[in-house]
Amino acid sequence: MTQTVTILSLMLAFMLSGCESASKAPDSVNEETTIQQSPKAQLLEQIDRKYENPEAHYQLGKLAYAEGQLDKADFEYRVALGFNPVHYRAQAGVVKVATDQKQTERAQIIAELYISQAAVSAPASVRLGKAFQNEELGAYALSCYYQATGLTPKSPEPYKLLGYYYLGEGDQVRAEENFRRSFELDPYQTNVAGELGRMGVIIGLPRTVNIENAPGPQ
């Protein structure tokens, strides 16, 4: 009798264990589905939670562009700009789409509008320039960087970006010229010093002053 009870108890335990595993299976599937969710689905979820999300719309536009859906990309970029008018990557995206659609005049008009808006400050011009350069719109990036040098002639950043731009274009003369100017304004830029060194330019690093041993006021 005792043996029979023991066997029945074991059978019941196995049955309960099986039921518990079965009940957990759907949760595991849901977790796996969430983990494997596509970037597009994740962005759509973010937009569903908060439609006024410029970054999500911009990223959705990038995905649409990568899939060759230029009209969809343009729409998402413009939605992003509706919620953040100075989303510089979205601005560059709009110009890129117009360029790819062979709407050259329209692309130029839009780009010039954005560049003029970025003239409020050198940092704005630099950010827009970088956005244009990332979209392989070099001529517009160049306009932004030169605009930044005019706004803040003593800032080394725009000259450094011009140096890298011309270096990428294979224009060693202009690259060196702008790297030199950037280095003159800030001689502590190791990356610029490295580029000048590779060009064969001999530069002198500024001497550091020992504050403890520096002469006091007379």
Which pTM does this prediction carry? 0.76
In angstroms, the first-to-last Cα distance of the chain is 108
* 200 torsion bin: left (phi>0), alpha (psi -120 to 50), beta (else): left
pLDDT-based confidence at residue 203 (cuts at 50, 70, 90): confident
Residues 160, 189 contacting (CB under 8 angstroms): yes
Locate 121 and state its tokens: 């400050």
pLDDT-based confidence at residue 23 (cuts at 50, 70, 90): very low
Report the share of the chain in percent with pLDDT over 70: 77
Residues 73, 58 contacting (CB under 8 angstroms): no
The DSSP H or E segment spanning 168 is: helix 156-168
**In the prediction, which pLDDT does 22 show?**
43
What lies within 8 Å, CB to CB, of 183 at 6+ separation is 156, 189, 192, 193, 196, 203
Crossing angle of helices 54-66 and 39-49, in 10° steps, is 150
Q: What is the 3-state secondary structure (H, E, C) of 70-136?
A: HHHHHHHHHHHHHHCCCCHHHHHHHHHHHHHCCCHHHHHHHHHHHHHHHHHCHHHHHHHHHHHHHCC
For the domain made up of 40-120, the CATH class stated in words is mainly alpha
